[in-house]
Structures are given as C-alpha cells and as structure tokens.
Amino acid sequence: MATTTTTTTLFTPFPKSQTLSSPYPFLLTSQSRRTLSCSSSSSTSSSLSSSTNSNDPIRVVFAGGGTGSHVYPAVAIADELKTLHPTCEFLFIGTPNSMESAAISSSGYNFAPVSATEMAPHNFLFFPHRFLKSLIQCFNHLRHFQPHVVVGTGGRVSFPVCLAAKLKGINLVIHEPNSVPGFANYVLSFFADVISVAFNSTVDSFPRNKCVVCGNPVRLSLRNLVPKGIAMSHFFPENNNKGGKGHVLLVLGGSFGANAVNIAMLNLYYQMLRQNSSLFIIWQTGVEAFDEMDSLVKNHPRLYMTPFMYCMDLAYASADLIVSRAGAMTCYEILATGKPSILIPSPNFSEGNQFRNASLMADLAGVTVITEDELDSSTLAIAIEKILRDEKKMEDMSERALKAANPNASAEIAKHILSLVDASTKKKTNGHKVES
C-alpha cells in the first residue's frame, strides 16, 4: 500500500480594457452581517472614486461550483477584494454537501446552499420545477444579503443565481475560465455588465464590448511558492532532502479522479521508481478512485499518494513535471507556477473544452498533449522520460509558461468589479439629485 495522507493564449499580452458601467442601481438596505477584516493594499486603484470609499461596505455574492475551476477563482477574487476594499462583505452560493461547500468554508467565507440541476435528457421533465425552486432560493438569499454585485464563476449553480440577480436589477459580472465558454455563461453574457475572460480567443464567443481579458485568478499561495526542498519535506519527511535534489513528478487526476490516467500510472510507477533512484512521485488519484488504487499500489518511500490535494502550493513547489487533465484552472496554475507539463484532456467535458485548453497550452508553453485514445503506460512513460532527461527543454517550457501567465489577474478583475459598483453608485446618486 502506498504512502497516503489522512487529510483528506491561451493568449497574447493583455490589452488594456475600458471599465464598463452598469445601468442597474444596487440595493442599499443595511443589515447586521459579519464583516471580514482584511489589510489594505498599496495596489488599490487610484481611479476608484470616493463613492467606493474603503469605509463603505460593499457586499459581493459569488456563485460557482462543481469543480475547482469554478470555485478557486472566486476565492482568489474575494481575497483580492479584501485587500483592495477592507470592508467588503462576501456570500458564496453553491450546492449543499458539495466540493464548493467544503472549500468555501475552509477559506473562512460565508456559504449559502441552493439546490441546482443541470438541463440533461435524463432529468428534462423535472428540470422546470427544480430550476424554479433554485431560482426562488436564490431570490431569498439575494433579498437578505442585498449585494451590490453578483459574480458568477461558472457551474450549474451559477446560472440561477446570476439570472435572479439580473431580474432584481443587481450588477452582474461573469468570469469564464475556459478557452470556450459553456452554455450557461454564453446565455448569461447577454445580461452581464462585465465579462472577464482568461484568453484572447474567448472574446469572440461573447459580446466584445463587455469583455475584459484578465487571465484566470490564481490563489495567492501559488504566487508565492516555498523552496522546492522545503515543499518536498512535507510529502517525503523521512527522505531528509532539504536541498530539493532529484526530480518530482506530480500527477493530478482532478477532484474526482481520472480513471485512464490512474490506470496508466498504475502500470508504470513502480518500474519508473526502480529504474530512477532520484525520481519522486506525488500522485493525486481523486477521491472516488483512491481506495481501489491504494489497494493495488505497492508501498514505496519515494511515492506519495492522496485522494485529494489540500496543499496545492506545496505540490506545485515540489514538482519538476506535471501530468494532469486540462481543466481551465489547472492549466492556468501550471502557467502561473512555470511548470513543464503533460496534459491528458478529458473527453467527457461538454464541447471539448479540455482538448481546446490543452491545444492552446501546447501552442503557448510547448506542453506535451496526449489524448485519451493515445494514452497507455508506454506512451506516458516515454513522454515523461523525454522531458525529464532534457533540462534545456524543461527550462524553455518553464520560461514560456511564466511569460504567458498574468499574475495580477485577480487584482485586475477585482478592480473591474469595484469600478462597476463605483459607476453604479454615481448613477444612483446623480439620479437622486435630479429627482430632488
């Protein structure tokens, strides 16, 4: 049994985009709420007017869930808003007993559950009733919290929350992390005031006058990685490798696991470790696949296996090469951390988003792409060995990745949100003056 843990462009340089104002006034009813304390930042945009004074609370609702690509960008934006505007108050809305409910709670933010359902053939008859129920729940949360702006980051729960926001006349910002938008964000784009996209190519899928190209928000911990040796000691404490010697292969199967990736790794991990005494493997199997993999994998001092990676910053800091699916946030985190990678896009995601993400990553950072049809243990082993044996290639891939990433994405999105609220406040204030 393997060592386990018990805690369980893409785009060209970013264009300067004008900030769009919203014609919808926000609601000003004040209620007693927990205000998150946070430190101010010297990066606060000087263009924000006094109507968004840091002493005035701004209430922001985030809606997103299902996968990390929809959850962690919202957390990163909220963290940045705390810095830019210390009295911001936040409410995250997602589905109950989900990965977002656990992730948001562990991040220290307030979470409100709503039921949500996808429009699929197997539940088509029940969809209208379930969607109406979700919409009513969203209305209730928005009425009690009275947000100035709602930010949708994708996932099935995002659609009813964002639709309820527009029906109530609340400012709406949506963020699209993928190279190609899903159906929900495509529809919501016609109602949104501002659309934040990660890639230049995505602008063609939305109303261009609403789009700002900012990149994907990356968690602060991933922008300030610890030295490799210190990170490795978390996964291999008995190795005493403070200097970070050797190569670390990080295998990411996603939150729920990637069966094809796990099977390929199962058939090659032991031989790789036996043939290369300086190789270490950190392997996230996914929660659903962990028990089966754990029962089949032999224990090895240079192998660390876990169902879910709670300390992604340490995993990225340890890694010399990453084998992963091609989810939007994983791709962008690879860029932001400057890691060489082999991407195996999932064929199960709608509209082939992962394959297109991977293709863009190949053009941008020279990553190796292996389709699931091509994947087997031999193909994967050859690809891993080819990269790890070529230090110059690894340096080139790392440099290209870092050049493509925008480390200030979360700050740029946060400033667009504050500017939207600022413009809305001015419009409402001027309207009151005219009436009087």
pLDDT of residue 100: 87
Domain presence at residue 37: no
Give the angle subtended at the CA of 327 by the CAs of 326 and 331, to the nearest 5°. 70
Helix axes 68-84 and 409-435, enclosed angle (nearest 10): 60
Query: Per residue in 379-411, pLDDT tens?
Result: 999 999 999 999 999 999 999 999 999 989 999
CATH code of the domain containing 133 = 3.40.50.2000
Q: Assess if residue 48 is contained within a domain.
A: no
Across all residues in the chain, what is the average pLDDT?
A: 84
Per-residue pLDDT for 27 more than 70?
no
Indicate the pLDDT class of residue 151, thresholds 50, 70 and 90: very high
Whether residues 209 and 242 fall in one domain: no
How many distinct structural domains can be found in the chain?
Answer: 2
pLDDT score for 243:
67
d(CA 436, CA 425): 17
With a pLDDT cut of 90, the percent of the chain lying above it is 61
Residue range 172-188: average pLDDT? 90
* Structure confidence at residue 255 (pLDDT): 63
The answer to whether residues 109 and 188 belong to one domain is yes
Q: What is the pLDDT of residue 224?
A: 86
- Do 177 and 292 sit in the same domain of this protein? no
Half-sphere exposure of 336 (CA within 13 A, CB side): 26
* 163, 236: one domain: no
Nearest to 385 by CA among 368, 402, 399, 397: 368
For the stretch 323-381, pLDDT in tens is 999 988 899 999 999 999 999 999 886 545 789 899 999 999 999 999 999 999 999 99
Residues 186 and 293 in one domain: no
Q: Is 350 exposed, middle or buried (0-12, 13-18, 19+ CB in 10 A)?
A: exposed
Centre a 10 Å sphere on the Cβ of residue 28 and count the other Cβ atoms it contains. 10
For residue 259, pLDDT beyond 60:
yes
Question: Would the pLDDT of 108 be above 70?
Answer: yes
Let me know if residue 43 belongs to a domain. no
Q: What is the pLDDT of residue 220?
A: 80
| Residue 307, domain member (yes or no) | yes
Kindly indicate the confidence band of residue 256, based on its pLDDT and cuts at 50, 70 and 90.
Answer: low
Task: Kindly tell me if the per-residue pLDDT of 311 is higher than 80.
Answer: yes
In whole angstroms, give the CA distance from residue 317 to residue 323: 15
Among residues 206, 156, 219, 135, the alpha carbon closest in space to that of 176 is found at: 206
Beta bridge partners of 212: 196
Position 350 scores a pLDDT of: 52
Q: Average pLDDT in the 245-270 region?
A: 89
- Domain membership flag for residue 59: yes
Domain shared by 208 and 274, yes or no: no
Q: Is 235 a domain residue?
A: yes
CA 169, chain centre distance (Å): 27
Same domain for 121 and 168, yes or no, is: yes
- Verify that 355 and 423 share a domain, yes or no: no
Q: What is the 3-state secondary structure (H, E, C) of the chain?
A: CCEECCCCCCCCCCCCCCCCCCCCCCCCCCCCCCCCCCCCCCCCCCCCCHHHCCCCCCEEEEEECCCHHHHHHHHHHHHHHHHHCCCCEEEEEECCCCHHHHHHHHHCCCEEECCCCCCCHHHCCCHHHHHHHHHHHHHHHHHHHCCCEEEEEECCCHHHHHHHHHHCCCEEEEEECCCCCCHHHHHHCCCCCEEEECCHHHHHHCCHHHEEECCCCCCHHHHCCCCHHHHHHHHCCCCCCCCCCCEEEEEECCCCCCHHHHHHHHCCHHHHHHHCCCEEEEEECCHHHHHHHHHHCCCCCCEEEECCCCCHHHHHHHCCEEEECCCHHHHHHHHHHCCCEEECCCCCCHHHHHHHHHHHHHHHHCCEECCCCCCCHHHHHHHHHHHHCCHHHHHHHHHHHHHHCCCCHHHHHHHHHHHHHHHHHHHHHHHHHHHC
In a shared domain, residues 252 and 192: no
Find the domain containing 59 and state its range: 53-218+407-428
Contact predicate 146/31, CB 8 Å: yes
Exposure pattern of 258-280 as b/e (b: 16+ CB <10 Å)?
Answer: bbbbbbbbbebbeebbeebeebb
What average pLDDT score do residues 292-299 get? 94
Residue 10: per-residue pLDDT: 39
In a domain, 322, yes or no: yes
Token output for 153: 């980051």
The reply to whether 99 and 225 lie within a common domain is: no
Report the candidate in 416, 435, 430 with the shortest Cα–Cα distance to residue 21. 416
The band of 309, judged by pLDDT with boundaries at 50, 70 and 90, is confident
pLDDT at 201: 87
Which of 275, 278, 266 minimizes the C-alpha distance to 232? 278
- 212 shares a domain with 131: yes
The pLDDT of residue 47 is 44
Model confidence at 18, pLDDT cuts 50, 70, 90, reads very low
Distance CA 167, CA 160 (A): 10
Q: Record the tokens describing residue 57, joined without a space.
A: 């609370």
For 47-87, write each residue's pLDDT tens digit: 444 445 556 789 999 999 887 788 989 999 999 999 999 99
Q: Are 237 and 314 contacting, i.e. CB atoms less than 8 angstroms apart? A: no
**One domain for residues 143 and 186:** yes
Whether 121 maps to a domain, the answer reads yes
What are the beta bridge partners of residue 63? Answer: 93, 152
On the question of pLDDT at 266 being above 90, the answer is yes
